[in-house]
Amino acid sequence: MKNKYLIAASLLVLLVAQPFNVVSAQETKKSRFMIELELGSVWQSRNNVQIPNNQNGTRFSLVELVGNGPYPAARVYFSWNISERHGLRFLLAPLSFNEKGRFTQPVAFSGGSFDPDVQTNATYKFNSWRLTYRYLLFDRHRWYGWIGFTAKIRDAKIQLEQQSVSAKEEDLGFVPLLHLSFVYQLKQRLQLLFDLDALAGGPGRAEDLALKLGYKLNKRLNISVGYRTLEGGADVDRVYNFAWLHFATVSVSYEF
């Protein structure tokens, strides 16, 4: 069931693919609008939590509590090339999972006390809503690149439930990110795509990096497969949480 999105995307590509003349990378990027659906599975290799981030909270691992995954993941992009060099991109990236596990030690979390060896329900949510302004930095025959800034709204929640005990920590905040994006035309139909939104410094960091191999089915329709990694977190008085997530993705995009 967790891979149903991958199967659905593959069927969609088979249904809509039709033979059209292939165009160059330069013609591709000049499309006025593009919508992209990315589906896949996500694994967590690190997800450490301590709330509050002092002697009243216990640092624990969500990976050790509920496992690595995989969990279903999806995101939608909408890009608007306003002019030859200026563009906007909108992203909707919901991400959450709910799993059960057992602690190996007593855990104090957000005002609640949780016993070891008792079934515990854990909810992790990290939704991301972003608006990116980007500028076409260079434009060559086989490759081109964008640079810009991303305004990110982070909607996060961690919740634990055990018998009659329930505790949660929610966070809704703004994060400014640097944006970089590059496309290299390997063959007439084949592209290598690199995409990064990132911030480093201060009490936290955030990196959302993707590397994809894209194939142009026709003048408007593209499919790509790739790897995405999402890493970062915050170390402040109220919250300590650092996670490292890994995505296997398949994307379908349509230009118009």
Mean pLDDT of the chain: 89
Per residue in 131-155, pLDDT tens?
A: 999 999 998 888 999 999 999 999 9
The per-residue pLDDT for 31 is 80
- Phi first, then psi: give them for residue 94, nearest 5 degrees: -75, 145
CB 236 within 8 A of CB 53: yes
Distance CA 197, CA 181 (A): 9
Per residue in 174-231, pLDDT tens?
A: 999 999 999 999 988 999 999 999 997 778 899 999 999 999 999 899 999 999 999 9
Distance CA 251, CA 234 (A): 30
Report the DSSP beta bridge partners of residue 46.
244
Domains within the chain, CATH numbers bracketed = 4-255 (2.40.128.90)
Token digits of residue 93: 């990236």
Q: How confident is the model at residue 30 (pLDDT cuts 50, 70, 90)?
A: low
The per-residue pLDDT for 5 is 39
Worst-scoring range by mean pLDDT, 9-13, 91-95, 171-175, 198-202?
9-13
The per-residue pLDDT for 124 is 97
Q: Mapped to the 3 state alphabet, what secondary structure does 110-164 carry? A: CCEEECCCCEEEEEEEEEEEEEEEEEEEEECCCEEEEEEEEEEEEEEEEEEEECC
The per-residue pLDDT for 29 is 52
The per-residue pLDDT for 42 is 98
E strand or H helix at 225? strand 221-235
Q: How confident is the model at residue 15 (pLDDT cuts 50, 70, 90)?
A: very low
Per residue in 149-190, pLDDT tens?
A: 999 999 999 999 999 899 999 999 999 999 999 999 998 899
**pLDDT greater than 60 at residue 23:** no
Of 176 and 4, more confident: 176
Sign, Cα dihedral of 73, 231, 196, 236: positive
Query: In the chain, helix, strand, coil percent, each to 5?
Result: 10, 65, 25
Distance CA 228, CA 32 (A): 26
**pLDDT greater than 80 at residue 46:** yes
How large is the average pLDDT for residues 100-118?
96
Percent of the chain with pLDDT over 90: 80
